[in-house]
A = this chain, B = another copy of it.
Amino acid sequence: MSTDAQAPAPAPLKKVNRLQLDVSSYRGSKTTLCAGCGHNAISERIIDAFFEMGVDPHRVIKLSGIGCSSKSPAYFLNPAHGFNSVHGRMPSVATGAMLANRGLLAIGVSGDGDTGAIGIGQFVHAMRRNLPLIYLVEDNGCYGLTKGQFSPTADFGTKAKNGVVNDLPPIDLCAMAIELGATFVARSFSGDKKQLLSILKAAIAHKGTSLIDVISPCVTFNDHEGSTKSYAYVKAHDDPLGEVSFVPFFEDISVEYEPGSTTRVRMHDGSHLFLRKLEETYNPTDKLAAARLLHETLARGEFATGVIYIEPDKDDFLQLLNLVDEPLGQLPESRVRPPRAVLDQLMDQLR
């Protein structure tokens, strides 16, 4: 019979961002997830990313489905409106909200069960639409909240705690997103603070849908030996595509980069993303290359992490809909109720 209290604001940090807010404006309530859960680490990075990007938290909406992962929006950005909806349906709720108010910045948090199983249909259609939305999957290969059953991202051959072996192929959410037309697709690991932070910041700057699949070990049900989503396994098999650095539009581009080995992507808002290649030569704007990469790493039992695909300038869904600039939800009556003459005209046509 617990009540989650708003976490008492910690002693204010000196550091403030460009809005003169300190990080406490980006914190959430106290987590009720297990100690050590990857999801908590991700919440921390979300807090950091919004803080460092200087986003007005009142502009943010945070949405989710149902699951341990889907609880996380309560654990960051308390000043933002939150919506913990129903299982697998975050995308539609987020879509509606963005239609109502295009000035919002939406982050949707989901789980691999929430997205990969019951929610895969809404996932598919969200990817097609390229709605402005950060769609973050906290991916632990299992259903945490219902006690550890395999999810559709569980790898072929991975073992459950009770020894049962998964014999279905995993759904690779990144590969699907790319196939379906998503414009920012990244994979990361809850344990890789730096990479995840850069990716989140880039996603905040991105204009369309960002799909971020973050491997986030479930320490309670899926962290044993034999699991390919255990902390140890992921750490050992994380295969970063390269180094990801992000320079927001309000900072000087002081990054030194060699054009040969680093891809520089100009985001829609003027920010810059620098992707320094390591072993691979890959081009994050080439869909087929991205697909190949994902298949090959998967076949090796590894996780390619980093920004896998990016298409920074594609029209987003709100542009396609040709909406007025103001939030639809806040238009005054005079702009949404046609005048009497319109009714008269309509009536005349029917007489």
Listed in ascending order, the chain A residues whose CB lies under 8 Å from chain B are 117-121, 124-125, 128-129, 152, 167-169, 171-172, 175-176, 179-181, 287-288, 291-292, 295, 320
Contacts and interface: CB of A to CB of B under 8 A. Distances in A.
Contacts of A125: 117, 120, 152
Given A169-B181, A176-B179, A176-B180, 6 more contacts: A119-B121, A120-B124, A125-B152, A129-B168, A179-B179, A288-B288
A338 B75 CA distance: 50
Contacts of A152: 125, 128
Contact of A171 (B118, B124, B168, B320): B124
A114 to B, nearest CB: 12
A155 to B, nearest CB: 13
A271 to B, nearest CB: 25
A167 B288 contact: no
Contacts of A119: 121
A178 to B, nearest CB: 9
8 contacts: A117-B125, A118-B121, A119-B121, A128-B168, A169-B181, A176-B180, A288-B292, A291-B291
A39 B291 CA distance: 33
Contact of A295 (B118, B124, B288): B288
Contact of A167 (B168, B176, B320): B320
Given A120-B121, A179-B176, A171 B128 contact: yes
Contacts of A121: 118-121, 124
